[in-house]
A and B are shown apart, each in its own frame.
Chain A
């Protein structure tokens, strides 16, 4: 009974854990143990629902949605607690690549914005979901998604990241950023 499920699930993790951990890294602001906690809790729930999922692509979307909901709705869990100084990633030293400095700075910023705004930022701009799709994931209205995205972008601009306002738009196809 379990063999087929176990093999498929293990193969799914081998194939997609890197992608899931990247999403978890953004959702948790880059603190590695928290990202792994979040990804693995979501994977446990994905295993429970495996009989309803079936395809690898659907499993990844399911796990991603679960991570977002855990982040936003389960505030007591470890991935939402304050970050002790010893858990913070190393600050870039002189000579580090600029990309590393940018990555560190963005992660620091992500940790300062509320989880719901962080989730919208990740789903909207990293995974390129539409406002309606994000609203369905978060169980809120598209208007709420829009306002959270605006606040998150304002936070990016306030920290000096080069973004420029553009008119609202809808993504023409329902394809999602996969990795």
Chain B
């Protein structure tokens, strides 16, 4: 490469790379945003997915009912999970990936808070999560009590208030007042209902649920 046009004054590397990328980011030709027709296409796509999900749920319900009838009303399991074994094993593997990075799966209640947080390097905000228990051992994350968790990068990744299984990792630095702070793995927030059933997102885009005990057992290889 020759003669890259950059300012004469030496710049930090971050800034030099940013300028290079800004130059490369400009698409060739004009930019015409998708119009209402694209929105209509997105809507049709969403409707099709919802219909497919309803159909799948009805089929799963019918299969489960048939199973109960065939077993004479006794399934052999106190709370048979509608989520497939494949979906469960995929979920466990995803959780284990995060555990390998230091995260611990805990369950509890997420509150819609906007707590100002400052660890001396980053000023931002977080939410409160009341931990009721843990699904696996782990260092640095308590198995009970209230903790403060940094908001995820994107607000869209912030789960709505409610009960969840979350993967938390203790941040390197506490808040200025000494309060321990935690990071969240936003893509692994699993809703937890009042019957302690965990909602799983399966690879095919569907959802299914398992009991919290079943998930814990699967994580222990049982």
Contact = CB atoms under 8 A, between A and B. Distances in A.
Interface of A: 2, 5-6, 9-10, 13-14, 17-18, 21-23, 25-26, 30, 32, 35, 40, 43-44, 47-49, 52-55, 57-59, 61-62, 65, 89, 98-99, 101-103, 105-107, 110, 121-122, 125-126, 128-130, 132-133, 136-137, 139-141, 153, 156, 159-166, 170, 172-174, 176-177
Contacts of A129: 153
Interface of B: 1-6, 10, 12-14, 16-18, 20-29, 31, 33-36, 38-43, 45-46, 49, 97-98, 101, 121-124, 152-157, 160, 183, 185-187
Contacts of B155: 53-55, 57-58, 61
Contact of A172 (B2, B4, B122): B122
Given A61-B154, A126-B22, A156-B17, A99 B123 contact: no
Given A22-B25, A47-B46, A102-B5, 18 more contacts: A5-B43, A18-B31, A40-B38, A43-B38, A48-B46, A48-B49, A53-B156, A55-B155, A58-B156, A62-B156, A65-B154, A89-B28, A125-B14, A126-B21, A139-B98, A160-B2, A160-B4, A161-B16
A22 to B, nearest CB: 4
A137 B153 contact: yes
Contacts of B185: 136, 139
Contacts of B49: 48
B122 A6 contact: no
Given A10-B35, A58-B154, A174 B124 contact: yes
Contacts of B14: 125, 128, 166
Contacts of B17: 121, 125, 153, 156, 163
A13 B29 contact: no
Given A10-B36, A53-B156, A2 B21 contact: no
A83 to B, nearest CB: 14
Contact of A32 (B13, B27, B39, B186): B27
22 contacts: A2-B43, A5-B43, A6-B39, A6-B43, A13-B34, A17-B34, A18-B31, A25-B25, A30-B27, A49-B156, A58-B156, A98-B3, A103-B26, A105-B1, A128-B18, A136-B152, A136-B186, A141-B101, A162-B4, A164-B13, A164-B16, A166-B14
A102 B5 CA distance: 7
Contacts of A125: 14, 17-18, 21
B2 A13 contact: no
Nearest to A52: B156
B21 A122 contact: yes
A65 to B, nearest CB: 6
A132 B124 CA distance: 14
Contacts of A10: 35-36, 39
A130 B123 CA distance: 13
Nearest to B15: A125
Given A47-B43, A159-B1, A136 B153 contact: yes
B23 A99 contact: yes
Closest 8 CB pairs of A and B: A17-B33, A160-B1, A106-B24, A47-B42, A62-B156, A61-B154, A22-B25, A58-B155
A40 B39 CA distance: 11
